[in-house]
Amino acid sequence: MNIIDDLKWRGSINQTTDETGLTHLLQQKKISLYVGVDPTAQSIHIGNLIPLTILKRFQNDGHRPVIVIGGGTGMIGDPSGKAAERQLLPPDVFDENVKRITKQLTRLFGKDGFEIVNNYDWLSKLNLISFLRDFGKLFPINVMLKRDVVASRLEAGISFTEFTYQILQAIDFYTLFNEKNVQLQVGGGDQYGNISSGVELIHKLLGPQAQAFGLTVPLLLKSDGTKFGKSAGGAIWLDPEFLSPYEFYQFFYNQADDDVIKLLKIFTFLSHEEIENLAEKVRIEPGKREAQTRLAQEVTKFVHGQAAVDEAEKISQILFSGDVQQLTSTQVAAAFSAVPSIKITTEKIAVVDLLSQDDLIEKSKRQAREDLKNGAITVNGQKVTEVEKIIDPADKFDGKFVIIRRGKKKYFLAKVQ
């Protein structure tokens, strides 16, 4: 099976500018292809990972991926998917974001066999006259207005700055085609108009025989129709400083049976046979969650490495057993980041006062005493029944946390300030 048919089987293709021509090209040679990454945030996220995974598949098949970090276009703003103009960031913030994102991409693709470039390097050299003369005259306004990303903003309003974004992205493709022989651009479904503009610009400047192609990935929806990639805490970031590998692992492990096979196809490099076997296990033994476990393992390994998988599973096993005393303070921070929390000082505190603080764990000291006497409270993994018990935050977890559990499953975290 060729790579285009494989991507179709995985549900990873939304549109192509010329599928027949692209398939023929890939049968003839190995190519260079690219994805653009916006550096307006400090980290890339799950939405970025979908086209990046396609690039990785091409890399595994012997092709050469190129990542374009939008140091230039990021300063302008992409109108796609937004109802208002982007707030432009200062150059020093962009520079820091570029450094962080470069580190993340290197972890995904390795140090060899791919290249990271910054479109600021060539866009910053354009002056207004050359931009209008050499490129602007090749873009009919009536065509630009019909692009979905522009048309959706006309009623609310769009600045000339963001209106010209599609020209700048087209210049990216032309520059990479001309200087690095990049023949395929991959992007999200909302980028099809911009990608088509790049293909058209290459044909206008170099002739219709120039072999340049575009491919977009579909918007990934869950079985309930909601957009995939969000959690209660917000975006699913790939930088471990913003989302711990444990939380990342849990996000994928907690996917529904109705979604897990689709996600295995899109986000993992498992063979068709392996995925079909897992689909059968979902059908006959859904309670074992083997497909979810494999999904979490594979994606976490790709993004964070095998050591992160081992750590996430170790934390999961400890939490399942309830023996939280085995956790390190770093593991506590990762495992309990989303549970309800209170802030306490380094001073020793009576357990009743701890439980009733801010009415978060118990609604009153009377209820706290009752739950203590009934054996419903554990502190740092040890059951507490004495209503006069004094808790010393320095006893565990480097003096940073106190873990409270009420009943069998309700956890709370006291953070020492």
Report the chain's C-alpha Rg in angstroms: 26
On whether the CB atoms of residues 216 and 187 are closer than 8 A, the answer is yes
Is residue 165 part of an annotated ligand binding site?
yes
Q: Between β-strands 410-416 and 341-344, what pairing exists: parallel, antiparallel or unpaired?
A: parallel
Is 230 annotated in some ligand binding site?
yes
Closest CA relative to residue 217, chosen from 195, 244, 249: 195
Structure tokens at 272: 């068709």
246 marked ligand binding residue: no
The strand pairing partners of 64, in sequence order, are: 32
Sign of CA dihedral 32, 35, 39, 43: negative
Pairing assessment for the beta strands 182-188 and 213-217 based on DSSP bridges: parallel
Residue 65: how many CB atoms within 10 A of its CB? 25
227 labelled as ligand-binding?
no
Q: Do 2 and 28 touch, CB atoms closer than 8 A?
A: no
Beta strands 115-118 and 64-69 are parallel
User: Is residue 139 within 8 Å of 160, Cβ to Cβ?
Assistant: no
The answer to whether 403 and 325 are in contact (CB under 8 A) is no
Question: Comparing C-alpha atoms, which of 328, 321, 248, 252 is closest to residue 289?
Answer: 252
Name the DSSP letter for residue 390: E
Alpha helices in 207-305 (DSSP H): 245-253, 257-267, 272-284, 290-304
Binding-site positions for L-tyrosine read: 34, 165, 169
Binding-site positions read: 34, 165, 169, 230
Binding-site positions for ATP read: 230
